[in-house]
Amino acid sequence: MAGVSSESLASALADLETKLPTASLSLADELFGILRIVVASPGLRRAMTDPSRESADKSALVRRLLAGKASSDAIEIASRLAELRWADARDISDALETLAATVAIAVAEQRSGQSGLGGLERLENDLFSFNRNVEDSHELQAALSEPQASPEAKRALALRLSPGASEEARLLIGQAVAEPRGLKATELVKRFAALAAKRQQRWIAEVAVARPLSDGQLDRLQMGLNRLYGRELKITTTVDPQLLGGVRVTVGDEVLDASTLARLTELRRQLAGQAG
């Protein structure tokens, strides 16, 4: 996905972020259900992505079709997608899939409370474990790609392979084997794992420093970053003697360096032991 579709997906993900703190796994399940409706109807996909139609008309169409079939949150998310611009009709299906998976991933993140990293790590491990089981067995690969087998039969088989997996992992695995949309199930599971890994970066602070830090400095840095971001971060450090400003912090897509001195002042004070 590139160009205008990529921009639209980024906008939809930004809108979704406001719902994620209170989202439940049922919302992800509903969005996957809406995806099935959209995939089953090429005419609907064309209508939702027709550049000649007004955004309000496309949104209203989605709301009419989904009225009484999904929650208000799910309908709002789907109708918002219809308002955006898409380069290809398939792109809106890809976007729905990404949004649904992101909700499931965020629910896993919530399960760990202040330290969301643990829930995300478990989810990734569950997804990778499923893929290893399938990739190690030609029989399983054949069963999950058998065109005569029903989606529900494939889902049931996949879930039997993941008895100890989290609810979020089981939803994503079940979706991947039942509705792979032209991909191998394991490839779609890898996509879901990549989304989880990307979200995981929000909880990891990659810190580059000009000289090694003492244990006390690391502890103070940990406290300062946790306070700055309002959550418990996992810190990894590297030493770069050429680093200007003494410290550079990367959390997700955000970089704090010498160009953001105001936000780094408190961190420098923490490292110097001047703040509590």
Q: How would you write the pLDDT of the chain (276 residues) with one tens digit per residue?
A: 678 999 999 999 999 999 999 999 999 999 999 999 999 999 999 999 999 999 999 999 999 999 999 999 999 999 999 999 999 999 999 999 999 999 999 999 988 665 566 889 999 999 999 999 999 999 999 999 999 999 999 999 999 999 999 999 999 999 999 999 999 999 999 999 999 988 888 778 888 888 888 899 889 888 888 888 887 888 888 998 887 667 888 888 888 875 454 455 666 666 666 544
The rounded distance, in Å, linking the Cα atoms of 211 and 246 is 8
pLDDT, position 153: 96
Which residues fall within 8 angstroms of residue 168, CB to CB, at 6 or more apart? 25, 28, 104, 105, 107, 108, 123
In eight-state DSSP terms, residue 213 is P
pTM value is 0.81
Confidence at residue 57, expressed as pLDDT on a 0 to 100 scale = 96
Q: Where are the domains of the chain?
A: 1-110, 201-272
Q: Which residues contact 252 (CB under 8 A, 6 or more apart)?
A: 201, 202
Inter-CA distances, 2 with 55, 78, 168, Å: 20, 20, 28
What is the pLDDT, as a whole number, of residue 257?
72
Q: What DSSP string runs through 134-150?
A: HHT-HHHHHHHH-TTS-
Distance of alpha carbon 145 from alpha carbon 36, whole angstroms: 18
Give me the pLDDT at residue 202, please.
79
pLDDT at 267: 65
Q: What CATH number should be reported for the domain whose range is 201-272?
A: 3.30.910
